[in-house]
Structure 1
Amino acid sequence: MSTTATETQQQQHQKDANANANPGLKLRANANVDERGQAVQEEYRYAHLLPHFSEDRYPPLTPFEHNDPGARALNHPNPRAFLDNATSIVELTPNLGTEVHGVDLRTLDSDGRDQLALEVARRGLMVFRDQADFIDAGPDFYLEWGRHFGRLHIHPTSGHPQNYPEIHLVYRDANSTFNFEIDDSITSTSWHSDVSYERQPPGLTTFFLIAQPSTGGDTLFTSQVSTLKKLSPQFVAFLRTLKAVHSGVEQANFSRSGKRGATVRREPVEHVHPLIRRHPVTGEEALYVNRQFTRRILGLKKEESETLLKFLYDHIDKSGDLQARVHWTPNTVVLWDNRITAHSAIVDYKDSKERRHGARITPQAERPIPALDGLSLDD
């Protein structure tokens, strides 16, 4: 095959990828024309993954024993063997994030998935490019993939593909949004650890965009291991003695007000977690508070709790040297350890009216382990 032909194929592949990411571009580039010469809108390729809000209701979640797959990889002869065929491995920052090319996540066997879990625990965040086969494998595969890493979480308020409640969707287009977005703020940045209000919040999380705007819509991540290390030893010793309430009430009320699909499938809960948790596999300690769901520190007076939480939130917000920014390109799959990272979507693309459509596979993990031995999590 000639070099010119190869370049032409590559250019067409990129056009197809851009069209899938941006339905408006696809219409302009590949629109069908009716008998009057008018452009006809093509059906959205991922319509089967659009948000659905069922009337199903679910009972409270029950405790379960979580066996972290990353722990199994500690006994593998080469815990990073799943990266052996990678064509490129680049650390996004010294503290957080690795970008990988040349590894097909869909082909990983059980050992490879265990190794992946361990590497995500160690790096906090991993970005895998060129994952079209993974994304196009469909929702049944997503469930099989996620169950390797834990019990799949069903979000109490978000949209999901019809008949697949375990797949959490984010969605915004020119006419609608089904995200947990607060409009009366000067910023769209909202650091959080997903559904930290659950008794057993998520661990290894998989997320990908099915469609993305032509520019903008990035995701910020920060290392909660590193934010903790920035604090003085005496202060950290004090924080280890504390625990805080994480609440899903505000998120539920947001939906009950008529937003985000106006659905609450499971009554909101509040749970108590340590301010500093220990990772069950790496043993690393991480700050575990977030602006979106942490409400108050137990044992402190109201003003004390608010002052301390504001300091910690500001520390997380301002620590740009501990953060990584993921720029979404077509067929990117991102995995992070929800126990030791926080993240925020960046809603800077509203004026473009373009679609941003993503899917999250969210296995739950253990109840957060206090860094301070013997700290009781009872209220």
Structure 2
Amino acid sequence: MAPSVAQIPDREQTASVVVPVKAVPESGETKPKIRRVIDEEPNTTASYPNYLPTWDHGEKYPPLQPYEHVEHGKGADPTFKDLLPEGSKIQKLTPTIGSEVHGVQLSKLSDAGKDQLALLVAQRKVVAFRDQDFADLPIKDALEIGGYFGRHHIHPTSGAPEGHPEVHIVYRNGSDGEVEAFFANRNSSVQWHSDVSYEQQPPGTTFLYVLDQPEVGGDTAFVNQVEAYNRLSPAIKERLHGLKATHSGVEQADFSKSRGGVVRREPVINEHPIVRTHPATGEKALYVNSGFTRSIVGLKKEESEALLAFLLNHISRGIDYQARIRWAPKTVVVWDNRVTAHSAIFDWTSGERRHLARIQPQAERPYETPYEVESK
């Protein structure tokens, strides 16, 4: 097992796009099944049919290998002069989390502007950029922008635009019975999670851009895991330091299999510190989530369940350190997956399509710095 404290490199470099080679069936083998939504909706009204999801059962990738992540927010200019030029407008959504920006085009940023973007997002946790051209770019150009921030993560089970497995598609087409089926065995759509936290190097700076959305509804909620940590008593903070939790991708893979879906990579389980440190801000954040965190290492079952239940309840009920992003055409939301958790909100019954695309570069392996006694 690698040490929990990662080495944070000082020099900056751009991560290249790495696409594993898809498995090709040998002669005589049955051709792998490919499910394409465009085949199911031949007369689709989707605004961006090139982004409709495809699931290729022939895509099989080897385990992810460690790579050296460079944190672009570290050392970036805190005045944000290359990111927020004169004439742009930034407005806080809440005191501790969330901002909205107008007058900035992400696709036109210089490298200095991208570095400042990483820092701003680390500080504000989630930032909504309006009036963006991201969705209208060739997909390879959007991926190139995202690839500046780290190695692209290819999701093991989600749909992707054909030929671009690095893009994760979020998709509901509003078909009849969809709402009733979703709520048949649940009371709420809230499912707090930090994306693929089960990976050894989970994602950091993340891009999610809207393609189609309901006129009202379908927002995304975010919670500030730094503030969640800050609200704890010193005694609890000190006890949490040094503890690790297991994060599992097994259940997600099993769910995909049960529905006849794809599993591109064998699922993994990794241990991460319960309190992780952000390399650019030095802030400490809780790093547990109800989506993928399963148990606390070294504690007995009842102890683990009790402590984990307290932390997850603390995160979920913290409405005073949460923000809700409302989607609008040409919006790109950028968040730091290391210091937030989020949940889609399935609250519209109008039958409208909700279609988004996510580009998610991997970051460093989670690490923690020692507990610091708080001054009274």
Q: Which bracket does the TM-score occupy, shorter chain normalised?
A: 0.7 to 0.9
Q: Counterpart of 1:310? A: 309
Runs of at least 4 residues of structure 1 off by over 3 A? 40-45, 76-81
Distance 1:57 1:239, change over 3 A: same
Matched ranges for 1:333-344 at <5 A: 333-344=332-343
Q: Secondary structure at the match of 1:71?
A: coil
Verify: 1:71 aligned to 2:74, yes or no. yes
Q: Secondary structure at the match of 1:370?
A: coil
Query: For residue 286 of structure 1, what is the amino acid of its counterpart?
Result: A
Distance 2:369 2:183 in 1: 33
Alignment partner of 1:371 out of 365, 369, 372: 369
Shift in Å at residue 138 of structure 1? 2.6
Verify: 1:352 aligned to 2:350, yes or no. yes
Counterpart contact for 2:70–2:150, Cα < 8 Å = yes
Q: Counterpart of 2:140? A: 140
Distance 1:232 1:42 in 2: 53
Q: Counterpart of 2:298? A: 299
Q: Counterpart of 1:213? A: 214
Shift in Å at residue 372 of structure 1? 3.0
Q: Counterpart of 1:60? A: 63
Counterpart contact for 1:69–1:117, Cα < 8 Å = yes
Identity of counterpart residues, as a percentage? 53
Distance 1:182 1:222 in 2: 23
Query: For residue 198 of structure 1, what is the amino acid of its counterpart?
Result: E
Q: Counterpart of 2:131? A: 130
Unpaired segments ≥5 residues, structure 1: 1-39, 374-379
Shift in Å at residue 208 of structure 1? 1.1
- Deviations 1:104-127 (CA, angstroms, capped at 9, x unpaired): 111101111111111111111111
Q: Secondary structure at the match of 1:70?
A: coil
Distance 2:266 2:242 in 1: 30
Counterpart contact for 1:280–1:369, Cα < 8 Å = no
Query: For residue 369 of structure 1, what is the amino acid of its counterpart?
Result: Y
Q: Counterpart of 2:237? A: 236
Distance 2:158 2:287 in 1: 23
Distance 1:333 1:86 in 2: 19
- Deviations 1:156-184 (CA, angstroms, capped at 9, x unpaired): 0000000000000000013398xxx7862
Distance 1:330 1:232, change over 3 A: same
Query: For residue 311 of structure 2, what is the amino acid of its counterpart?
Result: L
Verify: 1:200 aligned to 2:201, yes or no. yes
TM-score (norm 2): 0.83
Matched ranges for 1:40-119 at <5 A: 44-54=46-56, 55-73=58-76, 76=77, 78-119=79-120
Query: For residue 346 of structure 1, what is the amino acid of its counterpart?
Result: I
Counterpart contact for 1:201–1:365, Cα < 8 Å = yes
CA RMSD of aligned residues (A): 1.8
Distance 1:348 1:43 in 2: 21
TM-score (norm 1): 0.83
Query: For residue 354 of structure 2, what is the amino acid of its counterpart?
Result: R
Matched ranges for 1:155-194 at <5 A: 155-175=155-175, 184-194=185-195
Query: For residue 44 of structure 1, what is the amino acid of its counterpart?
Result: A
Q: Secondary structure at the match of 1:315?
A: helix
Q: Counterpart of 2:277? A: 278
Q: Which has the higher helix share?
A: 1
Compare CA radii of gyration and give the structure with the larger one: 1
Shift in Å at residue 252 of structure 1? 0.4
Shift in Å at residue 42 of structure 1? 7.0
Shift in Å at residue 303 of structure 1? 0.5
Q: Secondary structure at the match of 2:159?
A: coil
Q: How many pairs are equivalent?
A: 325
Distance 1:278 1:77 in 2: 19
Counterpart contact for 1:80–1:119, Cα < 8 Å = no
Distance 1:160 1:41 in 2: 20
Q: Secondary structure at the match of 2:90?
A: strand
